[in-house]
């Protein structure tokens, strides 16, 4: 039990989301793709605006404080309208391992199941060294779909693979593609 309240977010929440992502990125070996100095207001506003346009951004609040955020967006071309991608999640370092990430994913899947056009697939990537996150994603039902060898270069100069993962949303009744 996390005692968290889950709430949809908009670009108006960008400054608290910025603080959260900077805190998560400041941990050594953070699983986020960006270092803390690469997490700018421009970056945060951009993903929140994309989430607003047919995607989703959800915040986990405890005692009115933002302790976690997850977002995902549609990719653009109509053939991908059933896909939520560009997924990123961050939980405040002091709150990790307490179920917040799992609750955020459950809320994302619930939201995705009621979106129009229907969502049938959620996708993300995680670097191979982020073993805790990979374990969590597999427990949630994501499946490893390949390996992008040496895609991630770490601050010490070593490289890791990026692991693309997909989650099939069974509840989604996919609408037929328009005939054009």
Ligand X SMILES: CC(C)(COP(=O)(O)OP(=O)(O)OC[C@H]1O[C@@H](n2cnc3c(N)ncnc32)[C@H](O)[C@@H]1OP(=O)(O)O)[C@@H](O)C(=O)NCCC(=O)NCCS
CA distances from residue 132 to 75, 95, 137, 151, 176 in whole angstroms, order as listed: 27, 15, 9, 19, 37
Is 96 near ligand X (CB under 6 A)?
A: yes
Q: Where are the alpha helices (DSSP H) in the chain?
A: 14-25, 41-52, 100-113, 131-140
Is 30 near ligand X (CB under 6 A)?
A: yes
Taking the CB of residue 101, how many other CB atoms lie within 10 A of it? 23
What is the residue whose two structure tokens read 């549609």?
74
Q: Check if the beta carbon of residue 105 is closer than 8 Å to that of residue 89.
A: yes
Is 128 near ligand X (CB under 6 A)?
A: no
**Please, what is the minimum distance in Å from the beta carbon of residue 104 to ligand X?**
8
Is 152 near ligand X (CB under 6 A)?
A: no
Is 130 near ligand X (CB under 6 A)?
A: yes
Single out the segment in contact with ligand X by CB under 6 A; choices: 51-59, 86-94, 150-158, 163-171.
86-94
Of 7, 65, 135, 171, the residue at the interface with ligand X (CB under 6 A) is 135
Of 20, 24, 51, 83, the residue at the interface with ligand X (CB under 6 A) is 24
**Please, what is the minimum distance in Å from the beta carbon of residue 72 to ligand X?**
12
Collect contacts of 28-37 with beta carbons under 8 A, ≥24 apart: 29/129, 31/126, 31/127, 31/130, 31/132, 31/133, 32/88, 32/90, 33/88, 33/152, 35/155
Cβ closer to ligand X: 83 or 89?
89
Q: How many residues lie near ligand X (CB under 6 A)?
A: 20
Binding site for ligand X (CB under 6 A): 24, 30-32, 89-91, 96-102, 126, 130, 132-133, 135-136
């Amino acid at each position: 039990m996390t005692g968290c309240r889950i709430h949809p977010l908009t670009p108006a929440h960008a400054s608290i989301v910025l603080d959260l992502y900077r805190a998560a990125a400041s941990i050594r070996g953070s699983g986020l793709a960006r270092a803390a100095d690469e997490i700018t207001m421009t970056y945060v506003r951009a993903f929140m605006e994309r989430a607003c346009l047919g995607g989703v951004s959800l915040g986990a609040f405890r005692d009115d404080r933002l302790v976690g955020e997850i977002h995902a967006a549609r990719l653009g071309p109509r053939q991908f309208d059933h896909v939520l991608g560009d997924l990123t999640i961050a939980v405040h370092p002091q709150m990790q391992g307490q179920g917040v990430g799992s609750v955020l994913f459950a809320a994302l899947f619930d939201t995705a199941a009621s979106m129009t056009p229907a969502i049938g697939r959620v996708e993300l990537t995680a670097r191979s060294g982020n073993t805790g996150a990979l374990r969590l994603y597999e427990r949630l039902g994501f499946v490893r779909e390949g390996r992008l060898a040496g895609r991630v270069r770490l601050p010490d100069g070593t490289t890791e693979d990026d692991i693309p993962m997909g989650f099939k949303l069974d509840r989604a009744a996919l609408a037929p593609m328009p005939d054009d």
